[in-house]
Amino acid sequence: MRGLRCGGGVLVVANERGVVISAMAQLTVAVLFGGRSVEHEVSVITGHQIMDAVKAAGYRVLPIYLTKDGEWYAGDALHNLKLFTDPAGDPLHASGVHRVSLSPDRSIRQLLIHPGARQGLFRKAPELWADVFFPCLHGSFGEDGSLQGLFELADVPYVGSGVAASAIAMDKALTKIVCRSAGIPVLDWLVCSRAEWQNGADAAVQRIEAFGAYPLIIKPVCLGSSIGVKRCDDQASLRQAIAAALILDDRVIIEPALSDFIEINCAVMGPPEQASVCEQPKTHEAILSFEAKYKRGGKGLKQANTRSGMASLDRLIPAPIPEELAQRVQRYAMQAFRAMGGAGTARIDFLYLPSQGALYLNEPNSIPGSLAFYLWEASGIPFDNLVERLIAIALDRHKIRAQTQFSFEVNLLRQKVESTPPPMP
């Protein structure tokens, strides 16, 4: 007997003479996108890119859209980008779209129809389940470990990093602690919380100015896509940047601002870890802003197609850097991925100072925009093959996780009750 993958989602079983005797059903992949995050629109683009690639790989797709309010909707009609880009589009009321939820009860192998859904919507329950879940949500409540925790409770296979690795990668301060302990160079940093700022902004400014001289970079600790990132050249701009960033997050991270640096990025996939070619994003700004990443050339959500998103950014691939530097970036990227306990694919961003030869890890992205497919394509891995590998990693990790014993058959409660003397009359 032998198995042969056919069409990405079908396993054909044949005997030794090559005669097909059975075939497993096509796998269904639930692709989650949108979400309660300031990166909602970027996630919509990534989700549709992934759905196209998943379908091209031969799997069945179950689209799951999470609104900005956190409501879940599922249905085949959501695999239509025009529903989200056309002002007249209405993804929530498209034919065959149902409001649903994922139960943390691992015995329920079905997306639940929401109690508030319209009555009489269907005669029989729709087919709303998947063999593997593929989150494409950037930022809060999707990339920070919270959604991964729900997947763990529901005991479903899912693509990407687990709870701890997702939380570490999302938190810029935790990332620095983990990477520095692993011997990976990072810039010095300082964290200021919303509570500290509200209790005494003047004292907080004094502490920050004692940390380092201007210019300084202010970033929300747990946001991506360069949202809320500002360069500050004086105290006035510092106060303004911190106040603005603390609206988006409850902590900000402060770093020294570098001059005459270049950004070098590298994607990692695993386990086992492998690194992509490096890229050098092109920008005429001191900071690679959200607008530079996603809106250059008018490529916002309204003009988006499934090859835009992060793929629309001007970039040099492979990066025009010495081979020794490229190998150093790849080595640090894989080392960081391993230190954080990453899985699936991630993009690791670095800052390089040519005048000093100094390389610093800037930040990881556990669910990067467009899944950094353009880096894997340049490394010889087509998009459909990339998602096929990520799904295989997810299924393998879930199988290995299932070998863990989570309970013991020891009735401590009964022993406690039997050993407790009866109350005095």
In a domain, 180, yes or no: no
pLDDT for position 425: 63
- The sign of the dihedral angle between the CA atoms of 243, 249, 255, 261 is negative
Check whether residue 250 and residue 268 sit in a common domain.
no
Tell me if residue 158 falls in helix, strand or coil.
strand
- 375: domain CATH number is 3.30.470.20
Identify the CATH number of the domain in which residue 249 sits: 3.30.1490.20
- DSSP codes joined into one string, 225-249: TTTT-EEESSHHHHHHHHHHHHHH-
Please report the pLDDT score of residue 5 as a whole number: 45
Task: Examine residue 418 and state whether it is found in any structural domain, yes or no.
Answer: no
Asked whether the beta carbons of 79 and 59 are under 8 A apart, the reply is no
Q: Is residue 312 part of a domain?
A: yes
Answer yes or no: is 13 within a domain.
yes
Kindly state whether residues 252 and 265 are assigned to the same domain. Answer: no
| Whether 224 and 341 share a structural domain | no
Q: Are residues 280 and 355 in the same domain?
A: yes
Query: What is the rounded CA–CA span in Å between residue 158 and residue 156?
Result: 6
Identify whether 291 is part of a domain.
yes
Whether 14 and 65 share a structural domain: yes
Q: In this structure, are residues 91 and 73 in contact, taking their beta carbons and an 8 Å threshold?
A: yes
Domain membership flag for residue 233? yes
| Other CB atoms within 10 Å distance of the CB of residue 222 | 20
Same-domain check for residues 139 and 49: yes
> Which pLDDT does position 244 carry in this prediction?
95
Same domain (yes/no): 207, 289:
no
Total domain count for the chain? 3
Q: Per-10-residue mean pLDDT for the chain, 425 residues long?
A: 44 48 72 94 96 97 97 96 93 92 93 74 69 96 96 98 97 97 98 97 98 96 81 97 95 96 97 97 58 44 52 82 98 98 98 97 95 97 97 97 82 63 67
Q: What is the pLDDT of residue 156?
A: 97
**Considering 256, 279, 301, which residue would you say is the last residue of a domain?**
256
The CATH number assigned to the domain holding 108 equals 3.40.50.20
Distance CA 141, CA 76 (A): 23
Q: How far is CA 58 from the centre of its chain?
A: 23
Do residue 101 and residue 224 come from a single domain?
Answer: no
Residues 267 and 216 in one domain: no
**Structure tokens, 37:** 């995050």
For residues 26 and 41, membership in a common domain is answered with yes
Cα–Cα distances (Å) from 282 to 35, 197, 226, in that order, read 29, 35, 15
d(CA 257, CA 214): 8
pLDDT at 421: 67
Taking alpha carbons only, the member of 342, 360, 341 closest to residue 351 is 360
Decide which of 256, 276, 300 is a domain's last residue: 256
How many other CB atoms are there within 10 angstroms of residue 191's CB atom? 14
Q: Are residues 246 and 270 in the same domain?
A: no
Q: Is the domain of 121 the same as that of 216?
A: no
pLDDT at residue 296 in the model:
43
Residue 168 within any structural domain of the chain: no
Backbone dihedral region for residue 278 (phi beyond 0: left; psi -120 to 50: alpha; all else: beta): beta
Q: Which residue range forms the structural domain that includes residue 224?
A: 190-256
Q: Taken in order 248, 251, 252, 253, is the CA torsion positive or negative?
A: negative
Instruction: Measure the CA–CA gap between 150 and 287, rounded to whole angstroms.
Output: 35
| Measured distance CA(317)–CA(373) in Å, rounded | 12
Whether 416 is in a domain gets the answer no
